[in-house]
Amino acid sequence: MSNADSKQRFFFSDCDIRGEILRLEASLAPILQAREYPLSVQSVLSEAMAAVVLLASTLKFEGRLSLQAQGSGAVTLLLAEATHDGQIRGLAKYDETQFDAADTNDSQPSLTDLLGTEGVMAITIRPLHGKQYQGVVPLDADSLAACIEHYFSQSEQLKTRIWLTGGNGRAAGLLLQQLPNQVSTPDENADIWQNIETLANTLTMEELLDLPNEEVLHRLFHEQTVQLADAQSLRFGCTCSRDKVSRTLASLGAAELQSILDELGEASINCDFCGQTEVFDAVDLAQIIHELSDQ
């Protein structure tokens, strides 16, 4: 069975360690096709999409989790979001002049090559109920996975390792996390963690992308008893709508909208995430202005 566009949680029965494995393909396509990204930007954006799904999988919440990386390099912004029910969306912003037309994946630049050496990464949790939480760490490593591990070491106090890969319209990720001691003693968990981490480091990115989840886990951990949960499907999902755009236009105020109407005769709003364009013609704008005037 194909594991594309799904994530699966797994547990080790004899210790307090859990994991998550995922792949993206069809759900990634609308994100990569929304703009003409250079291949190296596609690759790091694909990794970011895999990363945000893994991050969301560590939480017990209903809502949205976002990863935002900003820097002063050729790529100025990476933004990836995932919801509790498996919807994803994302985008990247970059300086086109710093990418050669022959940009290829043969020599993928490091994260610091793309975003610069003084970038920051913010992880924001927006639950449907409760307060928003945000953690910020510097982009002080050459890979997105290493920066996220730094985030976990600062904020979660749980040993966490992440492996990410992306390219050619696909992405994949693997997460291992040590849980509070319940099944085994701290010393036993520490020994098993070291062994499992060493085994996971032998995984190639090609195997992570191409092999079925069951085969990946058997290949790595056949000496352990691994329990694999049911897969959760993942899909592209943008939150834009004509109603939201209408409210955004209304927030500009009647005077500003009247100026747009007089100068342009219409307003055309493009969604950065999905590329969809909403056009509000003269009648639409006049209606919004009229409603604002009545308030």
Phi, psi of 283 (to 5 degrees): -65, -45
pLDDT in tens, 230-248: 999 999 987 777 787 788 8
Last residue of a domain, one of 186, 201, 236: 236
Both 270 and 232 in a single domain? no
Instruction: Quote the pLDDT of residue 102.
Output: 47
**Residue spans of alpha helices (H) in the chain:** 29-33, 39-57, 111-115, 144-155, 186-200, 205-210, 213-221, 242-250, 254-264, 282-294
Give me the percent of the chain exceeding a pLDDT of 90. Answer: 54
Pair 77, 93: CB distance under 8 Å: yes
Both 63 and 80 in a single domain? yes
Both 177 and 277 in a single domain? no
**What is the distance between the alpha carbons of residues 163 and 148, in angstroms, rounded to a whole number?**
10
Instruction: Quote the pLDDT of residue 98.
Output: 82
CATH number, domain containing residue 270 = 3.90.1280.10
Q: What is the mean pLDDT of the chain?
A: 88
Both 70 and 138 in a single domain? yes
- Domain membership of residue 1 (yes or no) is no
pLDDT in tens, 26-68: 999 999 998 889 999 999 999 999 999 999 988 877 889 999 9
Both 148 and 249 in a single domain? no
Strand, coil or helix: 129: coil
Q: How far is CA 220 from CA 10, 159, 199, in A?
A: 13, 19, 6
pTM attached to this predicted model: 0.84
- HSE on the CB side for 86, CA within 13 Å? 14
- Higher-confidence residue: 163 or 273? 163
- Domain membership of residue 35 (yes or no) is yes
Instruction: Quote the pLDDT of residue 59.
Output: 80
Instruction: Quote the pLDDT of residue 295.
Output: 64
Instruction: Quote the pLDDT of residue 2.
Output: 63
Both 156 and 262 in a single domain? no
Last residue of a domain, one of 236, 264, 286: 236
Instruction: Quote the pLDDT of residue 103.
Output: 60
Average the pLDDT over each of 2-11, 151-160, 217-226 and give the range with the smallest value: 151-160
Q: Label residue 205 by pLDDT band (50, 70, 90).
A: very high
Both 255 and 176 in a single domain? no
- pLDDT at 160 exceeding the cut of 80: yes
- Domain membership of residue 65 (yes or no) is yes
Give the residue-averaged pLDDT of 105-113. Answer: 78
Q: Label residue 286 by pLDDT band (50, 70, 90).
A: confident
Give the residue-averaged pLDDT of 103-110. Answer: 68
Both 125 and 176 in a single domain? yes
Both 182 and 58 in a single domain? yes
Q: What is the distance between the terminal CA atoms of the chain, rounded to a whole angstrom?
A: 57
- Domain membership of residue 120 (yes or no) is yes
CATH number, domain containing residue 55 = 3.55.30.10
Pair 91, 79: CB distance under 8 Å: yes
Both 226 and 137 in a single domain? yes
Both 203 and 264 in a single domain? no
**Domain span holding position 269:** 242-294
Q: Give Rg (Cα) of the chain.
A: 22
Beta bridge partners of 94: 75
Q: For the chain, what is the domain count?
A: 2
Both 186 and 268 in a single domain? no
- pLDDT at 1 exceeding the cut of 70: no
Give me the percent of the chain exceeding a pLDDT of 70. Answer: 96
pLDDT in tens, 63-105: 899 999 999 899 999 999 999 889 999 999 999 888 865 465 5
